[in-house]
Copies of this chain bind each other. A is one copy, B any other.
């Protein structure tokens, strides 16, 4: 979601070559529906999960977001908010590893796509993308 992170800019991507989903923290858990739609239509071979340095998710906690949402939500919604995982991350590399492992263990992702899933960190300072060993 960070405006400094446009995948088409930091990879040499030609138009129509890839589908790009951009969400908070690059959290793949919130992209399952997008993956299903893309896989159903285009029979995906590869999935690149990319988080980035200086990411906001490293600076807040689940509780900070939940408190803020509760501040304008009726109390009848608080239980639902307490169950929501907004995607705070304590360690960047570990966050990417966790996402890749989540995909590889997921019962609703094809074996082919699991094999083609890789994790990366985009470094905002250098403009380089680093592959994360999982």
Report which A residues bind B (CB closer than 8 A). Answer: 1-4, 6, 8, 13, 15-24, 30-31, 33-34, 36-41, 56, 60, 64-65, 68-69, 72-74, 77, 81, 84, 86-87, 107-108, 110
Contacts and interface: CB of A to CB of B under 8 A. Distances in A.
A24 B37 contact: yes
Contacts of A19: 1-3
A34 to B, nearest CB: 5
18 contacts: A1-B21, A1-B34, A1-B37, A4-B15, A6-B6, A20-B22, A22-B23, A24-B33, A33-B87, A37-B56, A37-B60, A37-B86, A37-B87, A39-B69, A40-B69, A72-B110, A73-B107, A73-B108
Nearest to A19: B1
Nearest to A41: B56
This chain: how many copies in the complex? 2
Contact of A34 (B24, B34, B39): B24
A104 to B, nearest CB: 14
Contacts of A15: 3-4
Given A1-B38, A2-B19, 8 more contacts: A1-B20, A1-B21, A1-B34, A24-B33, A30-B30, A36-B69, A40-B69, A41-B60
